[in-house]
Amino acid sequence: MEETKIKMADIIAPHFYDIHDDIRNHRYTFYWEEGGRGSTKSSHISVEIPFLLMSNPECHAVVLRKVGNTIKNSVYPQMQWAIDRLGLTNEFRFKTSPHEITFKETGQKILFMGVDDPQKIKSIKLPFGYVGIVWFEELDQFSGMEEIRSLNQSLLRGGSQYWEFCSFNPPKSQNSWVNEEKLLDDADRIVHHTD
């Protein structure tokens, strides 16, 4: 695991070093990362997920997009890139129908799902353990906190600790639910801005 920590410092941008330390020490459950294109927020999160899986052998991860058919050209290749950058490609098995990545040593899974079919989320079956890591990519495309809470009720249960990542471009409208929600105090959430 020490080798992975060293590689993390080489892979993630310096403005994520502090947040990586927060994630590693589980200072928060909810990590909101906002930034424009090129801010490397998705690259950062995608590198954190395999690192967390390897450190928490009972955890599985679920990566969500609002629309399922966006997975094959966005979060799935992003996760492949991250695993390759960590030098771990041979440690994982990659499947595209459905999109899924498995850590060979333990059988832990990274599942990819669109929320346009919420029944699939409710019926996730895992070989062991629990969903301990969730990534909402393009958070602002989801309908609001009610939808996020509902998904969390289906996903974040049965485990001892969780990490939830939400990445998004700052919405232009100040009335956007994301812009309003990120201003609310939540002792278990950090909002990290990059540009």
Spot the catalytic one: 34, 137, 138, 164: 138
What 3-state DSSP class applies to 37? coil
> Encoding tokens for residue 147?
């939808």
Beta carbons of 124 and 131 less than 8 angstroms apart: yes
Inter-axis angle of helices 41-55 and 75-85, nearest 10: 60
Distance CA 175, CA 101 (A): 37
The two structure tokens encoding residue 98: 């459905």
- DSSP lists the bridge partners of residue 99 as 96
The 3 state secondary structure assigned to 134-148 is EEEECHHHCCCHHHH
- The H or E element spanning position 76 is helix 75-85
Give first-to-last CA distance, the chain, whole Å: 30
3 is catalytic: no
Residue type for position 141: Q
Rounded distance, CA 171 to CA 178, Å?
7
Mind telling me the catalytic residues? 138
